Structure 1
Amino acid sequence: METAALSVRRLTKSFGRKQALHHVSFDCQPGHIVGLIGANGAGKTTIMKAILSLIKAKGDITINGQVSTFRHHAALADVGALIEYPGIYPYLSGRNQMKLFATPTADKNQRIQTIIQELHMAPYIDRRVKGYSLGMRQKMGIALALVNNPSLVILDEPMNGLDPQATKELRELIQKKQASGTTFLISSHILSELQKLAEDLIVIDHGRVVQQTTMRELLARNQHFLSLTTDQDLRAAGILAENGYLVTAHAPVRVQLRSTDTVAAVLKILTTYGVSIEDVQHEDGDFEQSVLDLIRE
């Protein structure tokens, strides 16, 4: 079996009397984009800080097969990260900021130039960071996380402050890096963006892992609905309810479909009762609702 890019076991953390993490365990497989999701205060940032040895926690953390602890974390040399707000020097230019953080190898300047181009930072990269907008600073933090081509990248709310175009460009860059083998652990409250990126999901609630699953499996849990416009909507809703269907709305008629229900059966019942069907549409529950349902369960 392939060695996990990141393995977390029994991670526990308390702040005074408040226990923030309760025996958190999960794996990130190499080359996968993993979404870490949960409500504010669920423990996402605490988990990321513990992995990066920014805070001390109990438990076992292994990065690419190498044990990493609060005091011995050589494995973090191959990890890039952006946690909360970018740690940047306001009086340095963006380019000099990157020179300071970039590993001093023969291709250092080329790596810096490549990430500048990939994040479309050229128009302002030689200006002092103190004059950057929120979105520019966010891009700077992402650039610093990626400039050394790490095998594992941990991003906490990477879309913060980015406009729609910059968000799209970042999504495409993450997918490009993934295609070359980079593993990502991404926390984001923008679930619509995470849906476009993540293959695997770790759902956190009150410091506990509710479930580790895949995006495909979670979306398969979605509820399916049939929306019907008829010449007698209220009567149609009553007929379907009497025949055992779960009617969730009356005008237009909205029916929740179970795995055993078919569209043909629904239509047949209505036509048998003389109801004329004017329009039929399928609707699926969304990703956000699936996550909320999972946490509620």
Structure 2
Amino acid sequence: MNMNDILVVSNLSKNFGKHKVLENVSFKVPRGKVIGLVGPNGAGKSTIMKCILGIYPYSQGDIWFEGRKMTAQTTGTMGKKIGALVESPAIYPFLTGMKHFKLYGIKPADRQRVIHLLGMENYINQKVTQYSFGMKQKLGIALALVNNPDLVILDEPMNGLDLMSTLAVRKIILSQAAKGTTFIVSSHILSELEKIITDVVLIDHGKIILQKPLQALREAGHQCFTMVTNRNSDARQLLGNHHFDVSLTNDQLQIQISPNQLTNVLQILLDDHITITNISHQGMDLETATLQFLKQAEGVVNHA
């Protein structure tokens, strides 16, 4: 086992009755990385998180944390090094935010640090019944971070947050990761998730589709090449005849191809004496890449 991996999930399976929600799930979490756990609703993201945290038992497989196998006997001890916000925050409505920190025995210096980081000073002494959804979410995030855990698991942390709070949470995750804290974050807001993660674990129908660094995912598969020629309309028709995905917008050709197809595209245009005056390319964003790989995985399933 690579000691650079703080968490290793190996062949994890989970059933609810006869319904299999996780099937042979395996992935590794390197130390200091921010892992985006991505997939459609019902794919199994929250179930994976709950299995890691010991909330759910699992049918088969192993979970290793900091080189030690997690069991019912060791989860409590090792769990002190893991902070988590899974689904809704575990808070008591008739306690104040401050009393939550005192309830969990948080040191004054630690609680003041996260209260300040999340901008909670103005309402931390109010009862949680008076909190908005976003305020409750920030309290849950604060409780997950306050003990300086080695691993933080956050399920939909941006839910209910306004712009300033979202920016604050993003800043905290990035700054803590820079200091060595590892994060597993799930969010349906992929554009926001893309700003904080270093790696992607894509899951669908309880199975891992892929695990890649974010940059490698952006560069994988089809990319958008923007091209300008001396005969744009002719170029669009010519490439369309060769079954390439091409459109013409604002006097620019947009071509969806993989990098290894670019030489073929250029040769087709040059053979027809079309002059290329400008070309640039852009890797896929996280949302586009996710949809593409999910469609590819669905195609494999349909043809199995």
Q: TM-score, normalised by structure 1?
A: 0.87
Please, which runs of 5 or more residues in structure 2 have no aligned partner? 297-304
CA distance in structure 2 between the aligned counterparts of 1:225 and 1:175, rounded to whole angstroms: 29
1:255 aligns with 2:258: no
Shift of 1:201: 1.5
Q: Deviations over 1:163-195 (max 9, x none)?
A: 122111101101111111111111111111221
The residue that corresponds to 2:103 in the other structure is 100
Amino acid in the other structure paired with 1:225:
C
Amino acid in the other structure paired with 2:44:
G
The residue that corresponds to 2:65 in the other structure is 63
Q: Deviations over 1:202-222 (max 9, x none)?
A: 111111111121111101115
Paired residues of 2:218 and 2:283 also in contact (CA < 8 A): no
The residue that corresponds to 1:238 in the other structure is 237
Amino acid in the other structure paired with 2:98:
R
CA distance in structure 1 between the aligned counterparts of 2:15 and 2:104, rounded to whole angstroms: 31
Shift of 1:268: 6.9
Alignment of 1:52-201 (within 5 A): 52-57=53-58, 58-73=60-75, 74-103=77-106, 108-201=107-200
SS for the counterpart of 1:197 is: coil
Amino acid in the other structure paired with 1:27:
K
SS for the counterpart of 1:11 is: strand
CA distance in structure 2 between the aligned counterparts of 1:53 and 1:264, rounded to whole angstroms: 52
The residue that corresponds to 2:50 in the other structure is 49
CA distance in structure 2 between the aligned counterparts of 1:280 and 1:260, rounded to whole angstroms: 14
Shift of 1:21: 0.7
CA distance in structure 2 between the aligned counterparts of 1:64 and 1:288, rounded to whole angstroms: 31
CA distance in structure 1 between the aligned counterparts of 2:71 and 2:97, rounded to whole angstroms: 31
- Mean Cα displacement is larger for which, 221-230 or 149-158? 221-230
Shift of 1:280: 6.6
Amino acid in the other structure paired with 2:158:
M
Residues 202 and 267 of structure 1: CA distance in aligned 2, closer, same or farther (over 3 Å): same
Residues 234 and 270 of structure 1: CA distance in aligned 2, closer, same or farther (over 3 Å): farther
Residues 102 and 26 of structure 1: CA distance in aligned 2, closer, same or farther (over 3 Å): farther
1:205 aligns with 2:204: yes
Residues 250 and 216 of structure 1: CA distance in aligned 2, closer, same or farther (over 3 Å): closer
SS for the counterpart of 2:140 is: helix
Identity %: 38
SS for the counterpart of 1:261 is: helix
Shift of 1:239: 3.6
Paired residues of 2:219 and 2:283 also in contact (CA < 8 A): no
Equivalent pairs, count: 290
